[in-house]
Structure 1
Amino acid sequence: MGVIPNPADFLRVQDAHWYRIPHKQAKHGIHAEYVAFYFTGRYEEALRWQICYYARRTGHEMVRRVDLLPDEPTHPRAHEQYYKIQLGPLKERRPPIISLRWRRITFIQTTWDRFVKAEEINDLFSTDKQFVDRVYHALKRRGLQPERNVQVREAGAEYNVDLLIPCQDGVVMLSSDDAHPSQALPLRDDHETDWQAIDAEVARHGGPLLVDVPL
């Protein structure tokens, strides 16, 4: 899944049938059979904060950004390497895959099975540890709406938290990394997950903050 940051980029996908990804964000190459597109807040309400379209990747090549976008020669990344991904016709994803909380997203690797079944963005993540994935689905079965792979800051440091549960009064964070925010609950294995501790933290923060999911 890639991001379409502004309407000019979407026009290129529609009319010229190509999309760009910085090489540094895909150092191991481009192997996806399909590319799905997430629209940011710069779009009209019918598109923003969701995945509405996808296309088959028909090929790719490495080029400099300035060669892709010659009208932007002074861009700070003008001479950096990008993948130019050639695309087939756009297909509509019905219903769209929504972002419950309008979060900032860059790229997500997923599988076709997850893409077909997903209701919201967090259902797409496929590169987490398996037990983190199981805990995520267990949280959803308990009526919660956890966010996945969220960057948080604490005391000047930046952390990537596996799971974040929005609550009425703050958030509850769950992390499998040894380096994690001081307020995060540790995740070691789903069989060792302390559900009582999670429930207690959610209750201490006023209960879950839920968003209606369109049917």
Structure 2
Amino acid sequence: MMLPPEALVLVGVLPAPRDLEIARVLGWYRIPLKTAPKNVAVDFLAFYQTGKFADGKWMIRHFAQVLGHELVTRAELLRDEPDHVRASEQYYKLQLGALQSLAQPIISTQWRRITFFYTLGEHLNHAAEINELMMGSTERELLWSALRERNLPAEKQYQPAPHLPALDLALLCQLGGLGITIGDSAPQAAAGWQGLHIPATAVRSDPAGCAAQVAAAVAELSGLKELPA
């Protein structure tokens, strides 16, 4: 099934195989209210499988149409866990249509901390890699493309730590992470990370030159880190 190109898609995380079975058999998906994205009234939900999936980790294989949503407690959703520490907390219950499979899985080439993000149907139809789903500023797309031409596969919207905002782009290097921010101000640095702030005007005027600047910073960190498959 091909999605309508203009369809709004929310990419959500499946923490464990049980959550996929809930979506498949019971037809719903839960999102904690306190960490929910601003808009859950989307057209489709795509499922990112975490490392808990022995067969198919770090990829999107399935999606489903969102038929509606309501606010309930966790205890109402998971009646077999009435004593759970979050039993009384509120969750969005997204009601789903039948689970659909993509023609080809959309993979992440390495582990990354995924939070909810939006994409469009046309991206889900054609993407081969998670980064291709992430919509961003023109400047970020320009620099990401320039880095790919240098064989520097940067991660988009990478969150270095749970309490920190996502970086525009990130590269994992031998001596630590390189976090790239584009715009007027740089976010708080994370332990084990080196920050590189690039003005948006510089990216627009000379993306290749900015990519060379990033390549030099990667070299100072002893090159890209080789990650296990």
What range is the shorter-chain TM-score in?
0.7 to 0.9
Give the Cα–Cα distance (whole angstroms) in 2 for the partners of residues 175 and 145 of structure 1: 16
- Does 2:92 correspond to 1:79? no
Q: Deviations over 1:100-150 (max 9, x none)?
A: 112231312111122122211122222x33312322222223322111222
- Does 2:33 correspond to 1:20? no
Letter in 1 for 2:195: A
Q: Which residue of 1 aligns with 2:159?
A: 151
Q: Which residue of 2 aligns with 1:166?
A: 172
Of residues 61-70 and 139-148 in structure 1, the stretch that sits farther from structure 2 once superposed is: 139-148
Give the number of the structure with larger relative contact order, counting CA–CA contacts within 8 Å between residues 6 or more apart: 2
Q: Is the 8 A contact 2:143 2:211 kept in 1?
A: no
TM-score (norm 2): 0.80
- Does 2:145 correspond to 1:137? yes
- Does 2:199 correspond to 1:188? yes
Q: Deviations over 1:156-206 (max 9, x none)?
A: x84532211223443332113433428311122122553332121122233
Q: Is the 8 A contact 1:64 1:78 kept in 2?
A: yes
Give the unaligned 5+ runs of structure 2. Answer: 1-10
Aligned identity (percent) is 36
- Does 2:128 correspond to 1:115? no
Q: Which residue of 2 aligns with 1:203?
A: 219
Root-mean-square deviation (Å): 2.4
TM-score (norm 1): 0.85
Q: After TM superposition, which residue ranges in structure 1, 4 or more long, deviate above 6 angstroms?
A: 210-213
Q: Deviations over 1:57-101 (max 9, x none)?
A: 111111111111111122222112211111111111121011111
In the alignment of these two chains, the number of paired residues is 208
Of residues 130-139 and 203-212 in structure 1, the stretch that sits farther from structure 2 once superposed is: 203-212
